[in-house]
Amino acid sequence: MKPLLDKITYFLRKSLSARLGLWIALFAALIFVAALGFMFAESRQAVRSEAISHATQTLESTVLRVTNILDEVMVATDNTDWLIPRHLDAPDSMFVYSRRILANNPDLNGCSISFEPYYFRDKGRWFSAYSLNENGGIQTTQEGNDEYEYFYMDWYQQAKLLDGPCWTEPYNDFNPKGIFSSDVIASYCKPIRDKEDNYIGTISVDLSLSWLSETISAVKPYPNSYSIMIGEGGTYFVHPDTTKLFYQTIFTETLEHPDPDRTALGHAMQRGEEGMKQLVVNGESCYVFYKPLSTTGWSVAIVCPERDIFAGFNRLRSSVLAIVLVGLLLMLLVFRRIVSRELVPLQQLAGQAKTIASGDFETQLPDDGRIDEIGQLSHSFSEMQSSLVNYVEELKTTTAMKASFENELKVASDIQMGMVPRIFPAFPKRKDIDLYASMTPAKEVGGDLYDFFVQQEKLYFCVGDVSGKGIPASLFMAVTRNMFRIIAQQGHTPAEVAKQINDFITQDNEQNMFVTMFIGCIDLQTGHMDFCNCGHNPPLLDGQFYPLKYTNQPLGLWECDQFSGESIDDVRGRQILVYTDGLNEAENRQMEILGNDRLLELMVGAETLNAEDVIHKLQKAVEKHRDGASPNDDLTLLCVRVITPSEN
Amino acid sequence: MNHASKLILSIAGLVAGFCAGAQERFIFTPQWTPQAQFTGYYVAQEMGFYHDAGLDVDIVHPTASQSALSRIFKNESQATTLQLCQALEVVGSDVPLVNILQTSMNNSMVIVSRRGVDPLTQKGARVGCWAAGFGQLAFCLSDREHLDYDWIPASTPVNLFVKGAIDAALAMSYNEFYQLVQSGMEFDDTSVYRFCDHEYNVQEDGVYMRYDYYINHKEEAQKFAEASRRGWEWAAEHPEEALDIVMKYVRMHHIITNRSMQKLMLAEVLRLQLNRETGEREFRLRPDMVKLASDLMVENGMLLAPVSYEELIAR
């Protein structure tokens, strides 16, 4: 299932025409659903109203017919019962009256005129004049005896207790042998009163309800509808399922399977209400129309399956829905085809754009003269193609220029590196000087510098760091280095060298560049060292920071009358390390600097190493500390030791 | 099987049939028309428990012209079921009876009135009762509580109550009560007074026989009681199958009822057979309930002298 769904999703994502077609079909379906839903609801309501009207009329006419006959029974009884109180002195006349009622009303089954126990003393406990219409003749007998104590029977008691005329619940007649007949009997009963208005007995007229059952059963407003009749106790007296007659009430099924709708219907019918209820009967939704039968307490109902009532409506609805469904599918296909056709130029454009993207800028874009959105898109693409061609040309030029510039920069780097002595050992003929230096620019060219030379048994050396980086700094470095060599070769002290360099580079220093610098001069004979520190890092002497007395200003900032120099009496055998801040301020990826403490740790035991090894050790430490991070500053190191003859 | 074997078996069958035919027929008459109230006896008959006990039992129901008691009095039936109060009335009228099996452990009678109306507040109300009897405890209640009910005897009070001809009605919780519910009547706790929940919990159905018959047929009585008890126990264990048997009898006698009603009746009858204190189906007459019933009936004048437990039980 999921792979199929994925395929459909992929197809829809890929095909704009399918997507558009689907959206349009969905929107159309929405409109159809709303319109048809409203139409169906209204139509259904109309059909329902018509069904209610139809069923109600059918029910009313049926009830009217039945009621008319029941009324005749009541009238027949009323026409005779007034005679009874007038002839209480002649009990046997009651046989005549019960017989007369049947004679005058051949449709009646029986009639009894029954009295309270011992009402007629000479007649004993029981006196019930009973006439039975049987086989075309009327049989009249005294009905009561010790096996049939009629005053305990419903038909007798109800009239007495309700103190008025009433109908009994229909019952199934049976003969003395206990064999049940299919005939349904009901009795209309009235109390008999004497002249003092005291209750003395009950007159009861029996009516066969076979015709009633047939009349009600015949009511069939719809092919599968049927009618039922229940008594006041809910018992079925008319029902298409004859096994339920007398044996079940409308509530029986609810005893084991509660059904509030059926219970509500039963109660409404018992209360003698008239109306309609919708409920499920035998698993099928039905409309039940019910109406009471006169004053009997009985109720008649027509059960109409919903499928019958709405059969025509359902057929129409199915047809319309099928047509709409097919129409929507056709619409989907047609729209998809139309949109596909309209999108052909767009597909061509997409293909050609792909060709352009692959580098073929000369591809000719289609121009079919369209002025719609697709035409505009094609035009915009054409302009973009033209712009792209220009841009690529410019890019080529720029790339060539960049290559040239990088080449020049490489040359500049070589020149800069050529300015500082790079051949070691620096003084191969001298055994008393162990000196090593290195300069590593952060970019192609840097702003650091170092230099050294020996003149008249004096070793001049310097290390400097120009503010900023790159080409400006490298040019400033070149100037400074040249100034150092020119001035120092004149035999000046480091402080004087510093002053003269400062004086020179301060002039016309519009860029406000400056350089920190350490300048030293060691008398190789005596080991005496003069030096001047111009805003530069303090040097390390034998692995410890040398405590400077003066830290002069960097060179180039402003004019200065005098730079203060310092001296150390004898540095022979002692290791001097001069460096730029590219060493102790080298940063790793986390922007953490190497630090002075780490530098001191690195220098522990370094006094036994020669100058080159010290420089290499420090370079490796810096590289390790950076851990792959790009250099944040130029790194320049210079290590020197004057070796005494005894060391040699 | 060869012809000789078939012959031997046929002769054996004839002899067995002759012996069975020689067995004195034992006629048992329940006190009402066929219904689940008598399931245990139908089961014992249909499952062959009576036959297994060596009894040839015939279940003969009463008719309109011949009640169960009249059959006992005329020696036409050897045993019948009676409510305890009925039995006391009979014994009190100098016809000694013996209880050979007690099935009911609780009273099933209720007084029902319209929904929301407490029967005990309806002083002087018209209350339907059975013309055939069974209402002894209700009469005692009416007198003791000074309710002065106007008793309306009827063949059955169900229709009168449904029609609104009476204010309240006596009903058995396993029979008329369900008939009323099936007629759409709705009750609540207020409108149903259950005698068993008050100081009137007197046992009902038991199997009785005349003392003079019992004295000479103790063995048959014991066998009938044991087979009947077995029938009830089987019914309790197989209610659906037992219900099938009940429905067979119901249909045979054209009783106006249905399976749902009989199912409810059987469940309620079986529930009433459980001793409330122990939860067991004990099948015994309780001396305390005999004394309670006897005292109530003496107080009410239904008995001239008390009837003791010892007078009723099989000795």
Residues B172-186 have a mean pLDDT of: 95
pLDDT, tens only, A211-230: 888 888 888 888 899 999 99
**Domain assignments of chain B as residue spans, ordered by start:** 22-106+203-312, 109-197
pLDDT of residue A347: 80
Over residues A339-352, mean pLDDT: 80
Task: Calculate mean pLDDT across residues A150-169.
Answer: 92
Query: Which chain A residue has its CA at the smallest distance from B157's CA?
Result: A154
Band of residue A344 on the pLDDT scale cut at 50, 70, 90: confident
**B258 → closest Cβ in A232, A233, A252:** A252
Give the pLDDT score at A180: 43
Select from A161, A174, A246 the Cβ nearest to the Cβ of B160.
Answer: A161
Find the residue in B nearest to A270 (Cα).
Answer: B184
Chain A residue with the nearest C-alpha to that of B184: A251
How many whole angstroms separate alpha carbon A467 and alpha carbon A513? 6
Q: Is the pLDDT of residue A193 over 60?
A: yes
pLDDT of residue A600: 93
Q: In angstroms, rounded to a whole number, what is the distance separating the alpha carbons of residues B305 and B315?
A: 21
Lowest mean pLDDT across A20-34, A334-348, B9-23, B257-271: B9-23
Q: How confident is the model at residue A161 (pLDDT cuts 50, 70, 90)?
A: very high
Residues of chain B whose beta carbon is less than 8 angstroms from a beta carbon of chain A are 64-65, 126, 131, 152-155, 158-160, 162-166, 178, 181-184, 254, 256-258, 260-261, 263-264
- To the nearest whole angstrom, how far is the Cα of B162 from the nearest Cα of chain A? 6
**What is the structure's pLDDT at B315?**
67
Classify domain B22-106+203-312 at the CATH class level. alpha beta
Where does the pLDDT of residue A648 fall: very low under 50, low under 70, confident under 90, or very high at 90 and above?
Answer: low
Asked if residue A161 lies in contact with residue A184, where contact means CB atoms within 8 angstroms, the answer is no
As a whole number of angstroms, the distance between CA A581 and CA A561 comes to 27
Q: What is the pLDDT of residue A507?
A: 87
Domains and CATH numbers, chain A: 2-69+312-342 (no CATH), 82-212 (3.30.450.20), 220-309 (3.30.450.20), 347-401 (1.10.8.500), 420-642 (3.60.40.10)
Q: Does the pLDDT at position A309 exceed 60?
A: yes
Decide if pLDDT at A207 tops 60. Answer: yes
Is the pLDDT at A175 greater than 70, yes or no? no
CB atoms closer than 10 angstroms to residue B11:
10
How far CA B253 is from CA of A171, B45, B76, B256, in Å, comes to: 17, 16, 20, 9
Nearest CA of chain A to the CA of B20: how many Å? Answer: 31
What percentage of residues in chain B have a pLDDT greater than 90?
A: 84
- Inform me whether the pLDDT recorded for A162 exceeds 60: yes
Low-confidence winner among A3-17, A446-460, B233-247 (lowest mean pLDDT)? A3-17
| Span A431-448, pLDDT tens digits | 889 999 999 888 877 889
B21 pLDDT tier (thresholds 50, 70, 90): very low
Considering only A348-352, A526-530, B173-177, B197-201, which range has the smallest mean pLDDT? A348-352
Higher pLDDT: A77 or A251? It is: A251
Q: What is the pTM of this model?
A: 0.66
Mean pLDDT of A329-342: 84
Distance from CA of B160 to the nearest CA of A (A): 7
ipTM value, please give it: 0.86
pLDDT in tens, A263-288: 999 999 999 999 999 999 988 999 99
Q: For the CA atoms of A376, A377, A378, A382, what is the dihedral angle to 10 degrees?
A: 100
Contact A287, A278 (CB under 8 A): yes
Q: pLDDT higher for B98 or A68? A: B98
User: What is d(CA A136, CA B240) in angstroms, rounded to the nearest whole number?
Assistant: 48
Cα–Cα dist A190/A641, whole Å = 149
pLDDT in tens, B107-129: 999 999 999 999 999 999 999 99
Residue A374's region, left for phi above 0, alpha for psi from -120 to 50, else beta, is: alpha
Query: Higher-confidence residue: A246 or B308?
Result: B308
Q: Which of A94-108, A377-391, B196-210, B227-241 shows the lowest mean pLDDT across its residues?
A: A377-391
Percent of chain A with pLDDT over 70: 98
Q: Percent of chain B scored above 70 by pLDDT?
A: 92
Q: Cα separations (Å) of A468 from A430, A481, A556? A: 37, 16, 13
Give the pLDDT score at B38. Answer: 98
Write phi, then psi, for A225 (nearest 5 degrees).
-80, 160
B253: closest CA among B42, B70, B26, B40? B42
Length of chain A, in residues: 648
Residue A516 in contact with residue A465, Cβ under 8 Å?
yes
Q: What is the pLDDT of residues B43-74, one digit of tens each?
A: 999 999 999 999 999 999 998 778 899 999 99
pLDDT at B10 over 70: no
Architecture of the CATH domain B109-197: 3-Layer(aba) Sandwich (3.40)
Residue B7: band (very low, low, confident or very high) from pLDDT cuts 50, 70, 90: very low
Residues of A in contact with B258 (CB under 8 A): 247-248, 252
pLDDT tens readout for residues A524-534: 999 999 999 99
Does residue B2 have a pLDDT over 60? no
Tokens of B6: 């078939």
- On whether any CB of chain B is under 8 Å from the CB of A162, the answer is yes
Instruction: Specify the pLDDT at position A473.
Output: 84
The arithmetic mean of pLDDT across residues B182-196, rounded, is 95
Mean pLDDT of chain A: 88
